[in-house]
Chains A and B, each alone.
Chain A
Amino acid sequence: MAEITYLEAIREALDEEMARDHNVFLLGEDIGAFGGAFKVTEGLMKKYGEQRVIDSPISEIGIVGAAAGAAHMGMRPVVEMQFIDFIANAYDMLTNYVATARYRAFLPTPMVVRGPSGGYVRGGPFHSQNPEAGFIHTPGLKVVYPATAEDAKGLMKAAIRDDDCVLFFEHKYLYRRIKGVMPAGDHVVPIGKARTAREGRDVSIITYAATVHKSLEAAEKLAAEGIDVEVIDLRSLAPLDDEAIFNTVRKTNRVLIVHEDTRTGGIAGEITARINESCFAYLDAPVLRVTAHDIPLPYAPQLEDFVLPQVDDIVTAVRRLVGW
């Protein structure tokens, strides 16, 4: 089997799901003839027609609301945000309408909202955001954020088949940098299950998306110093895999949480609280965090590098945990 990129893996999942289920359709800005700003949907309009790959006006509230309506009627829409930053425009529709539909009114809303997220690409404040925290905080929404090509495909298939609304964050830094070989057959990765990206004894790093790769790089550096780091890739942020989190804490007794999103109100705080509540007795050191600074993401490379977590920051943090 040939290697394909993270981006191609997402396209493959969309393609296979559209072929499998006639209720699956795509909508978003420039996704049809153009194939999307990042070319994730390239070729799909040609294959499935304009009825199933719909070029929308620049109307994020409109397309998310329309997807919800269609989902109530038994369709399985997949909405593209051209950049995930613009999901903010649809925040009302997602949090007020979509997230409450099942609970309030027993309305199934099986839909996916996907889009390129994250920084490390010099995109400036409006093309680099990681808005996951606001949605993790909203009951009724599921949130996934893959770090590998295999997971990108498997989680997309699971998201499309899920009976709830799944926000599918794609890291644009990984789109063409990460490749993988897809398992044969119907490759579905269940939502809600974390993955051990690297086995280790001394310290656990719990992370997701682009910082999985930064953490693995840091783990290599630390291995040279004799520190054996375990890296847990959460994959799914809502629901969180408590089992996997607690297991790694019990194993290494030292935890670092790494994410690219800003610090205050970020998911690291939630994970820390869960560890405190359930695994306090297993901790040999306080749970530490490496995150972005609480700063809007700046454009200049020198500034972006400072604000976002880097490999050296992770190394520094692990050393501190080990030396506790």
Chain B
Amino acid sequence: MPPKSGRAASRGAQPHLGEALPIERKLELYYWMRLTRTLEERLVALYRQTKVVGGLFRSLGQEADAVGSCYALEQRDVMSPLIRNLGAMLVKGATPVEVLKQYMAKGDSPTRGRELNIHFGDIGEAGKTRGFLGQISPLGDMVPVMTGVTMTFKMRGEDRVGLVYVGDGATSTGAFHEGINFAAVQQLPLVVVIENNGYAYSTPTSKQTAAAQFVDKAIGYGVTGEQCDGNDVLAVYDCTKRAVDRARAGEGVQLLEFMTYRRKGHAEHDNQSYVPDGEIERWAAENDPIDRFVRVLLDREKVAQATLDEIDARVAKEVDAATDIAEASPFPEPLDAMIGVYADPPVEKPLWFREGADVSKLGKERAEGWGTFDAKGGK
């Protein structure tokens, strides 16, 4: 039976699942965090070269929360991220090439230039897809959608769990409330992660909720809640893994709150004028998730610095290679805009004032994977 109260599940004498991970897996966690940061740094460079078409959203200082939580999922599980969950996307199998192509609006990006940044997914049958669902911009909307995803797991008797990320700001939306409430009464295997990073755009958490902490809301929804240090990757893994295990065991919705901090502005253009002096520097100096984990690896786990250097070098090489591929790939053809609005008919005629537009061109050969997005007939 799921606990009636939303209070944190008792930790008691349970082992710390993160700390108990074998060293190879801890090094994997390090790899994913480093890859996230390096890829974002590359995106910043591309943004400055105006090769990123729209805005750029960083997760600097939040890598542990995204990576540690998604690492607790199985491949068959489904995850729905937000703009600051690049790390979770990578862990779930999104590739740096895909991410770079998305940001650069390339014609062979996962959404073929229709959508931006990490708004892309790969979802479906367990084992056949990587299991992440593309988000949309309106905040909170993915919570009820994930309710439907996990409802399907339950109806089909599949041993799968869903995990959805929301920011502290997104918890104020009606969609968030309706989604989690519905999932709770249906006792669905859904883990809802609230990333409390202190700000929603310029709005501090104190203007977003009068609750002392988000985890308290679990009581109101009648679900299990837990809070953890979001900048400690092993603690995040531990907390999420236990929640995922409970959800998988039929204990219903799990509400997690990760305490973290957004060190960059809402997007690259935001100068963070609203942040009190010294706050960012303090988090950077004392609470950088990668620095903290490096200390754990070197001091407690006795990993050699050379091992970490090797991983860093590997990451740098991978990001370089991905950038080359993404930069070389083509922009979409204007007529590509016509395909895929409906499953059937797949191709519309351009409006009459585009008389010169040649629809027959739409029949040309496409890059691999095109058909998965555009349904039948689009090739």
Q: Which residues of A contact B (CB under 8 A)?
A: 29-30, 33-34, 37, 55, 57-62, 82-83, 85-86, 88-89, 122-127, 263, 290-291, 293-296, 298-303, 305-307, 313-314, 316-317, 320
5 contacts between A and B (CB under 8 A): A57-B207, A299-B111, A299-B114, A300-B114, A301-B105
- Of chain A, the residue at the smallest CB distance from B53 is A122
**What 7 pairs across the A-B complex have the smallest Cβ distances?**
A300-B113, A126-B137, A34-B202, A57-B172, A300-B105, A306-B334, A303-B337
Give the contact stretch, choosing among B90-98, B214-222, B350-358, B365-373.
B350-358
Question: Given A58-B208, A294-B348, A301-B53, A307–B137 Cβ distance below 8 Å?
Answer: no
Q: Using Cβ atoms and an 8 Å threshold, which residues of chain A touch B116?
A: 124, 299
Contact with A along B103-137 (1 / 0, CB 8 A): 00111000101111001000000000000000011
A270 to chain B, nearest CB (A): 18
Chain A contacts for B106, CB-based, 8 A: 300
B residues in contact with A300, CB < 8 Å: 53, 105-107, 113-114, 331-332
Residues of A within 8 A of B54 (CB): 122-124, 299
User: Judging by beta carbons under 8 Å apart, are B137 and A302 in contact?
Assistant: no
**Besides the known contacts A34-B201, A295-B338, A314-B353, 14 further A-B residue pairs in the complex with CB atoms under 8 A apart:** A29-B203, A33-B274, A34-B273, A57-B203, A58-B169, A58-B173, A124-B115, A126-B138, A263-B351, A296-B114, A299-B111, A299-B114, A306-B334, A306-B335
Judged by a CB distance under 8 angstroms, whether B316 is at the interface is no
Asked whether A89 lies within 8 Å of B138 as measured between CB atoms, the reply is yes
Instruction: Scan B311-351; emit 1 where CB is below 8 A from any A CB, else 0.
Output: 00000000000000000000111111110010000001011
Given contacts A29-B201, A301-B105, A293 and B337 within 8 Å (CB-CB): yes
Cα distance A172–B207 when bound, in Å?
27
Interface residue? B170 (CB, 8 A): yes
Closest chain A residue to B334 by CB distance? Answer: A306
Which residues of chain B are near A314, meaning CB under 8 Å?
A: 353
Residues of B within 8 Å of A126, CB to CB, are 136-138
Indicate which residue in B138, B333, B353, B357 contacts A302 across the interface (CB closer than 8 Å): B333
Given A59-B172, A295-B341: A316 in contact with B353 (beta carbons within 8 A): yes
Query: Which residues from chain A contact B202 at a C-beta distance below 8 Å?
Result: 30, 33-34, 55
Asked if B209 is an interface residue, CB under 8 A from chain A, the answer is: yes
Taken together as a complex, chains A and B put the C-alpha atoms of A214 and B174 apart, in Å, by 38
Tell me whether B200 is interfacial, beta carbon within 8 Å: yes
A302-B174 contact, Cβ under 8 Å, with A85-B137, A125-B114, A307-B337: no
Nearest-neighbour CB distance to chain A for B357, whole angstroms, equals 8
Report if B375 contacts A (CB, 8 A): no
Shortest Cβ gap from A67 to chain B (Å): 16
Whether A59 pairs with B337 at a CB distance below 8 angstroms is no
B264 CB, nearest partner CB in chain A, Å:
15
For chain B, which range describes its interface: under 10, 10 to 19, 20 to 34, or 35 or more residues? 35 or more
CA of A125 to CA of B112, assembled, Å: 13
Contacts of A85 in B (CB 8 A): 137-138
CB <8 Å contact, A299 and B113: yes
CA distance A296 to B116 in the complex (A): 13
Q: How near does chain B come to A94, taking the closest CB pair, in angstroms?
A: 14
**A303 to B106 CA separation, bound complex (whole angstroms):** 11
Which of the residues B107, B114, B138, B273 comes within 8 Å of A86, measured between beta carbons? Answer: B138
If A34-B202, A300-B114, A303-B113 touch, whether A57 touches B208 (CB-CB below 8 Å) is yes
Instruction: Please determine whether A88 and B138 come into contact, CB atoms closer than 8 angstroms.
Output: yes
How far in angstroms is the closest Cβ of chain B from A298?
Answer: 4
Whether A30 contacts B201 in the complex (CB less than 8 A), given A89-B138, A298-B114, comes out as yes
| B333 CB, min distance to chain A CBs, angstroms | 7
Chain B residues near A124 (CB, 8 Å)?
Answer: 54, 114-116, 119, 137
Query: How far is it, in angstroms, between the C-alpha of A125 and the C-alpha of B136 when the chains are bound?
Result: 9
- Kindly state the separation between the CA atoms of A305 and B113 in the bound complex, as whole angstroms: 12
Nearest residue, chain A, Cβ from B208: A57
Whole-angstrom distance from the CB of A248 to the nearest CB of chain B?
Answer: 21
Instruction: Flag if A59 contacts B174 (CB, 8 Å).
Output: yes
User: A123 CA to B267 CA in the complex, in Å?
Assistant: 13
Say whether B139 faces chain A, with CB atoms less than 8 Å apart: yes
B330 to chain A: closest residue by CB: A302
Q: How far is the CA of A45 from the CA of B49 in the complex (A)?
A: 36
In the complex the two chains form, what is the Cα distance from A127 to B54 in whole Å? 10
Residues on the B chain within 8 Å of A306, using CB = 334-335, 337, 350, 354, 357
Q: Which residues on the A side are within 8 Å of B335 (C-beta)?
A: 306
**With contact pairs A33-B274, A302-B113, A303-B336 given, residues A58 and B139 touching in the complex (Cβ less than 8 Å):** yes
Nearest CB to that of A304 among chain B residues? B337
Whole-angstrom CA separation of A122 from B202 in the bound complex = 23
- A59–B351 CB distance below 8 A: no
A156 to B351 alpha-carbon distance, docked (Å): 35
Q: How far is the CB of B143 from chain A (nearest CB, A)?
A: 13
Q: How far, in whole Å, are A316 and B341 apart by their CA atoms in the complex?
A: 26
Cα distance A316–B210 in the bound complex, in angstroms = 57
Closest chain A residue to B207, Cβ basis: A55
In the assembly, what is the distance between CA of A296 and CA of B274, in Å? 34
Complex CA distance for A125 and B139, rounded to whole angstroms: 14
Shortest CB distance A317–B (Å): 5
* B172 contact set on A, CB distance < 8 A: 57-59, 62
- In the assembled complex, the Cα of A291 lies from the Cα of B53 at a distance in Å of 24
